Amino acid sequence: MCSDDRSDRAAYFRDRAKAAGLRLSEGEAESLFGLAAWMSDGLAGPTRAAPDDAVLDLDIAELGARLRDGRLTSVALIEATLQRIAERGPSYLAFYAVAGEQARLDAQKADAELAEGQDRGPLHGIPVGIKDMIDVAGLATTANAPGRREAVATADAEVVRRLSEAGAVIIGKLATYEWGTVGPDKRGLFPPAKNPWSLEHITGGSSSGCAVAVAGGLLRTTIGTDTGGSVRGPAFYCGVVGFKPTFGSVPEDGVLTMSPSMDHVGPMSRTVAEAALTFDVIAAKSGDEAAARLIGQSVSGLSIGYARNWFADDPQVMPAVVAAMDAALSKLSELGASIGEIDLPDYPSVEIAAAAILHKESFDFHAGELREHPDAYGRRAFLSLAGGFAIDDRELAAARQIGREFTLGVNRLLDAYDVIITVGALTTALEAAPFEKEAVWTPMRTIGFNVSGHPVLAMPIGFHEGLPIGMQIIGRHHDEARIIQVGHAFEQATDFSLQRPPIPI
């Protein structure tokens, strides 16, 4: 059957039937035509059906295997991803921009390269989302700020370039609190992203869209930024893995600045292994330097310092959080690790010092714009950024000294232990409604490690009333592989990473 037009094909079929000497009623002719068309289309060349929606719940390693053995194409994977974003996106609000057409082109390129035997690595053909404080050429880098609605990037950030070189398919830009400051705030350029576990609770900030996209099953891995806990907080509250690497190990070219001495770029992913392989791409690590190199190795014989003093006796901590932390360390002990209770340096003092550094550096970076173009900022972000004007040089020096002392204290503990583990946040995700009235303090235990620059893995360890609980694994500078090893062992021994939030209706 040579024509694509149904009427032409039907006429051709009738002529063939007549030539064969067959007498058919109209109904019989229509029935046989359907059969003939089905066979003809099939013999013209088999077409690969779009994957079942469940393929999006496979990990990157399995997706990669299917892309390479022909059971899946990147084009089909991207179409399934775009379809799920369209279905769940209105409930989650994780995306600011979806680069569908470019993603389709990049997926076609990935399929062609893989078919020719050109393998760029584990992210080849895999969709990745980017926090909207990181430049993607051709898309606006809004930072959720009124004055940046049309701030279209002319070039990719270095981390995005590395992802593209590795064959990853950039699928779009993900939600953030304005300029990485405070939120959620409905008065921003875009409405706040919603926590998939409960749409009425916060996601944590500021890499909110990254956590939501992963927790909500839209993507397996994303790239966020972390200045005071912005990768780890959303990971705790949304039940995903957040990975803040050693300070300076991931380039920040093309990433909007908040606090230069505390800014980090890192992945937020479904599993520890996926976070590790994503980090290895954006940090250009391989071989003996790869974060993924110890995955699968036993933790038997490793020593873990358990910093229970940072949370167990705090009047704000939920009993369920303490119980989950104790259970997590017990599990690691069962796996053969040696657990010793330790005292990390006083958290409130380093939190105040870190806040002073962050606000001072943020103000210095934004001072001109705050004066000349105040309307370019939402009022809540404006006030947060402006707060640093009150920090004088003497106070900044004192804050940096506290930061140095904290760093030395952590280093001394890491001389005695392979990793340190402590809580992520004292509570599960708070209700979002109060945040609309004013900025609300969230009791996290993250910002000290932005000052010290140590690598930290955030991951889920349990649930309370349907909301996730998370812990932090802290390692020596540039020893990302060790915290990945411990996190992966815990993840494999539990089922927390397998839990999924309810699908939105």
Pick the catalytic residue from 74, 198, 206, 362.
206
Pick the catalytic residue from 131, 173, 194, 360.
131
Contacts of 171 (CB under 8 A, 6+ apart): 78, 81, 82, 85, 98, 99, 103, 127, 128, 129, 219
DSSP state of 196: T
Any idea which residue has 């939920």 for tokens?
Answer: 318
Active site residue 300: no
Distances (CA, A) of 158 to 32, 102, 134, 282, 430: 59, 19, 9, 8, 35
Pick the catalytic residue from 230, 269, 384, 452.
230
Residue 174 contacts residue 211 (beta carbons within 8 Å):
no
Taking the C-alpha atoms of residue 85 and residue 98, their distance in angstroms, rounded to an integer, is: 9
DSSP state of 246: S
Q: Are strands 303-306 and 419-423 parallel, antiparallel or unpaired?
A: parallel
HSE-CB at 152 with a 13 A cutoff on CA atoms is 4
Active site residue 74: no
Q: Which amino acid is at 9?
A: R
Active site residue 91: no
**What tokens were used for 448?**
């000290």
Taking the C-alpha atoms of residue 267 and residue 59, their distance in angstroms, rounded to an integer, is: 15
Question: Which are the catalytic amino acids?
Answer: 131, 206, 230
